[in-house]
A and B are shown apart, each in its own frame.
Chain A
Amino acid sequence: MSQSDPKLNINSSVRQNVFVRQESIAARQPPIPTRGVLAWINDNLFATPLSGFVTLACIALVALVVPDLIRYLFIDAIWSAEDGVPCRVEGTGACWAFVERKLSFFVYGSYPREMVWRVNLTLLMGALLVGWLLIPRLPAKRLASVLFFIAYPVAGYWLAYGFEGVLPKVSTNLWGGVFVSLLVALVGIVMSLPIGIVLALGRRSHMPIVKFVSIVLIEFVRGVPLITVLFMANTMLPLFVPQELTPDRLLRPLIGVSIFTGAYTAETIRAGLQAMPKGQFEGAMSLGLSYWQMMRLIILPQALTMVIPGIVNSFISLFKDTTLVAVVGIFDFLRAIEVARLDPVWAGPSLSTTGYVFAALFYWVFCYSMSRYSQNLEARLAVGRRR
């Protein structure tokens, strides 16, 4: 460097021993980023030639499908119409006007229109209570569960079905649509847990009759399809019991669905019971707890936590299975759509697609939220076992 540098001049004697670089280093290539959008794309989408190829293929597929889908569902769709004529025109997309016009039929079925506030109120109460139970921050869970499991079914029944002298009766043959779908799912879900717990404990019991009955029931119900159970409940039951005692047409599939889901839940819960270490049982017994105390306080809370994914899985499949009640003449949501598209005023080629897209959306929203909630629940309850 130049002689005029004051620092170097001071210690000129040391200068010979010091290495000072005379020219600057050539700039190197910047490192491949490990963070940011580009890095993510590189790592996840184009890590290997194969994954790069798959990525491109997927993009091509999306590009092929999505624009048409959007055009069909939104741009070319008919949003309002008086009857099916505009939806019939060649090149039009989904007929949302049909869904809009028939929406009340999809939701309430044949429930008298001047009284649908009763259904709305029932559903609203249910939604609030379910929310209260499911959102962890909210207090007084015990009160909520008493309300939901004991007060709500009675109140909901009175409200929807009617109460002598206060609310006029609306017989169940008029119930339908989303209301019935949710009712079947909710009753199935709520009833299947106690049935499942009792059957699971029964199957592991040492009392031969209890054990035998539980095994027969579980294996019999699991061995036949749900449709068969529904047919049995619907067509055979009335032949066995006297006319006056015949259960209501809507009650029959409810019983069938509860027992069916109960049997599956029982096996899931049994898996949880069997996974419990023996020490837990022995520990509980050595404390002098009775059988029911042991189950209630020690075993079941742990066993049930373990099998939450399995239980939610069977709830999700139950929710979709509710569509099967249509085969015994119950107007559930899907059935309402199928019937509505036959209406000569609306009939047309695009109605089936529109109706089924709408149904798919409904079932997906419900099933996906259940699955998300179960993941959340699992994470919360697994804190104790986290390593």
Chain B
Amino acid sequence: MKRIIATCLIAAAAGMAATSSFAQAGKTLDQIKQRGYLSCGSNPGLAGFGLPDDKGNYAGLDVDLCRAISAAIFDDPNKVKFIPLTAKDRFTALQSGEIDVLARNGTWTQSREADLGLLFAGVNYYDGQGFMIRKKLNVASALKLEGASVCVQQGTTTELNLADYFRSNNIKYEGVVFATSDEALKAYDSGRCDAYTTDASGLYSERLRTVNPDEHMVLPEIISKEPLGPAVRKGDDQWYDIVRWTHFAMVNAEELGVTKANVDEKAKSATPEIKRLLGSEGDFGKAMGLSKDWAYRIVKHVGNYGEVFEKNVGEGSKLKIRRGLNNLWTKGGIQYAPPVR
């Protein structure tokens, strides 16, 4: 009996010690610096956003955002530990403090911010539901899909958006539902449907999985809003700023024409915006707990937003996604970053 009581006491004491150390746990940035790497929740497999290559190294748009954060903190884009997360455990992993930032093509919604205690730090990809059709149908717009059959995955918001869109535009269509996206794509590819619908970012990679990708095209219409971006926990505003401004720095760099290749040269430029961004004037990183050349490090190691976009999902990749909404605000898109000053 004595022994049992003693064991219980020891366990309780250990528990209390552990809890108190948890309460003392400092800010996210200090923890990251102390541990020596950034812990980044990533997608286990989405072409162009987060996908391991032949050697198992992660590559993609979201992956590069994490590398950029690591570059800003450590001056080294490789001090990132990528933790592959499924759709089900991604938010818990962030809430429990297991990861510092979740860059896993998560859609920014009101309830996720209000209920789950998360903050979305920006939008690094404006996604939305789109359509893929055969080129030989000779249809240039989704509004011309009168009477078409559409393959779609069952029980998803995709299915609901599809119904809403066609109903509000008074177009008749035949929805053909499948349990998995694999089956839906296969049915479309074998000619069962005229069109296939899912999020546009996915459409481009699904297109590559058809028998003859060149016969298919993605229609320009986007029928839903899916802003994808990195998320952090509420309660550490400094860390939120770092993630948010890492993305903004990349967008600003593109706008100012600063690229991975010319960043050293541009650092000597006389343009005040560039000087402030790259840290040759002022010390804008200090308030975020970073060095003054934080943005220089990002561009030097990872590149500006446009470069990263083209490399991972744009013309430089197999996906060949058009910039569209993700173009700079000066070029007809809505990627807009507040100035560094």
Number of interface residues of B (CB under 8 A): 44
Within 8 A of A (CB), among B87-103: 88-89, 92-93, 95-98
Q: How far is the CA of A90 from the CA of B82 in the complex (A)?
A: 38
Q: Which residue of the partner chain A has the closest CB to B189?
A: A349
Render B18-53 as a binary contact track against A, CB cut-off 8 A, 1 for contact: 110110010000000000000000001111100111
Chain A residues with Cβ under 8 A from B56's Cβ? Answer: 104-105, 108-111, 113, 174, 176
**B51 and A343 form a contact (CB under 8 A):** yes
Chain A residues with Cβ under 8 A from B85's Cβ? Answer: 329
Q: How far is the CA of A235 from the CA of B182 in the complex (A)?
A: 28
A165 to chain B, nearest CB (A): 16
Q: Which residue of the partner chain B has the closest CB to A110?
A: B56
Classify the interface of chain B: helix, strand, loop or mixed. loop
Contacts A110-B57, A329-B84, A351-B209 supplied; 19 other A-B pairs, CB < 8 Å: A88-B212, A90-B211, A105-B56, A110-B58, A111-B56, A113-B56, A173-B83, A231-B88, A239-B96, A244-B25, A327-B86, A327-B88, A328-B89, A329-B89, A339-B52, A342-B47, A343-B51, A344-B317, A344-B319
Chain B residues with Cβ under 8 A from A105's Cβ? Answer: 52, 54-56
Tell yes or no: A242 within 8 A of B by CB.
Answer: yes
A247 to chain B, nearest CB (A): 11
Tell yes or no: A38 within 8 A of B by CB.
Answer: no
**B25 and A243 form a contact (CB under 8 A):** yes
Tell yes or no: B135 within 8 A of A by CB.
Answer: no
Tell yes or no: A321 within 8 A of B by CB.
Answer: no
**B54 and A347 form a contact (CB under 8 A):** no
**A331 and B212 form a contact (CB under 8 A):** no
**A342 and B51 form a contact (CB under 8 A):** yes
**A347 and B205 form a contact (CB under 8 A):** yes
**A239 and B95 form a contact (CB under 8 A):** yes
Interface residues of B (CB under 8 A from A): 18-19, 21-22, 25, 44-48, 51-58, 81-86, 88-89, 92-93, 95-98, 182, 186, 189, 205, 208-212, 317-319
Chain A residues with Cβ under 8 A from B92's Cβ? Answer: 235, 238-239
Tell yes or no: A80 within 8 A of B by CB.
Answer: no
Pick the contact of B210: A176, A235, A329, A349 (CB < 8 A): A349
**A173 and B205 form a contact (CB under 8 A):** no
Q: Which residue of the partner chain B has the closest CB to A176?
A: B56
Q: How far is the CA of A171 from the CA of B317 in the complex (A)?
A: 30
Chain B residues with Cβ under 8 A from A326's Cβ? Answer: 86
Within 8 A of B (CB), among A255-299: none
Q: How far is the CA of A111 from the CA of B53 in the complex (A)?
A: 12
Contacts A239-B96, A349-B211 hold; do A113 and B55 have CB atoms under 8 A apart? yes
Pick the contact of A104: B54, B83, B182 (CB < 8 A): B54
Tell yes or no: A101 within 8 A of B by CB.
Answer: yes
**B86 and A329 form a contact (CB under 8 A):** yes
Classify the interface of chain A: helix, strand, loop or mixed. helix
**A352 and B182 form a contact (CB under 8 A):** yes
**A242 and B45 form a contact (CB under 8 A):** no
Chain B residues with Cβ under 8 A from A111's Cβ? Answer: 56
Contacts A242-B21, A243-B97 hold; do A345 and B318 have CB atoms under 8 A apart? yes
B199 to chain A, nearest CB (A): 14
Chain B residues with Cβ under 8 A from A146's Cβ? Answer: none
**B44 and A339 form a contact (CB under 8 A):** yes
**A110 and B18 form a contact (CB under 8 A):** no
Closest 4 CB pairs of A and B: A110-B56, A344-B318, A339-B45, A238-B96
**A246 and B98 form a contact (CB under 8 A):** yes
22 contacts between A and B (CB under 8 A): A88-B212, A104-B54, A110-B52, A110-B56, A173-B81, A173-B82, A173-B84, A231-B89, A235-B89, A235-B93, A238-B97, A243-B25, A243-B97, A327-B86, A329-B86, A331-B84, A343-B51, A343-B53, A343-B54, A344-B48, A344-B317, A351-B209
Q: How far is the CA of A246 from the CA of B86 in the complex (A)?
A: 19
Q: How far is the CA of A328 from the CA of B44 in the complex (A)?
A: 11
Our count of residue pairs bridging A and B at CB distance below 8 angstroms stands at: 116
**A343 and B211 form a contact (CB under 8 A):** no
Report which residue of B85, B209, B319 has the largest number of chain A beta carbons within 10 angstroms of its beta carbon: B209
Pick the contact of A244: B22, B57, B186 (CB < 8 A): B22
**A331 and B44 form a contact (CB under 8 A):** yes
B24 to chain A, nearest CB (A): 11
Chain A residues with Cβ under 8 A from B52's Cβ? Answer: 105, 109-110, 331, 339
A209 to chain B, nearest CB (A): 10
Report which residue of A242, A329, A343 has the largest number of chain B beta carbons within 10 angstroms of its beta carbon: A329
A367 to chain B, nearest CB (A): 25
Contacts A88-B211, A104-B55, A105-B52 hold; do A342 and B205 have CB atoms under 8 A apart? yes
Chain A residues with Cβ under 8 A from B55's Cβ? Answer: 104-105, 110, 113
Within 8 A of B (CB), among A316-357: 326-329, 331, 335, 338-339, 342-345, 347-349, 351-352
Chain B residues with Cβ under 8 A from A231's Cβ? Answer: 88-89
Chain B residues with Cβ under 8 A from A102's Cβ? Answer: 54
Chain B residues with Cβ under 8 A from A344's Cβ? Answer: 47-48, 205, 208, 317-319
Chain A residues with Cβ under 8 A from B205's Cβ? Answer: 342, 344, 347
Q: How far is the CA of A202 from the CA of B46 in the complex (A)?
A: 47
Chain A residues with Cβ under 8 A from B319's Cβ? Answer: 344
**A347 and B211 form a contact (CB under 8 A):** no
B19 to chain A, nearest CB (A): 6
A161 to chain B, nearest CB (A): 14
Q: How far is the CA of A77 from the CA of B186 in the complex (A)?
A: 20
Q: How far is the CA of A176 from the CA of B210 in the complex (A)?
A: 28
Chain B residues with Cβ under 8 A from A211's Cβ? Answer: none
Chain A residues with Cβ under 8 A from B22's Cβ? Answer: 242-244
Chain A residues with Cβ under 8 A from B186's Cβ? Answer: 349
B77 to chain A, nearest CB (A): 16
Chain A residues with Cβ under 8 A from B81's Cβ? Answer: 171, 173
**A243 and B210 form a contact (CB under 8 A):** no
Q: How far is the CA of A352 from the CA of B85 in the complex (A)?
A: 22
Within 8 A of B (CB), among A148-194: 171, 173-174, 176
Q: How far is the CA of A304 from the CA of B44 in the complex (A)?
A: 41
Tell yes or no: A224 within 8 A of B by CB.
Answer: no
Tell yes or no: A234 within 8 A of B by CB.
Answer: yes
Tell yes or no: A32 within 8 A of B by CB.
Answer: no
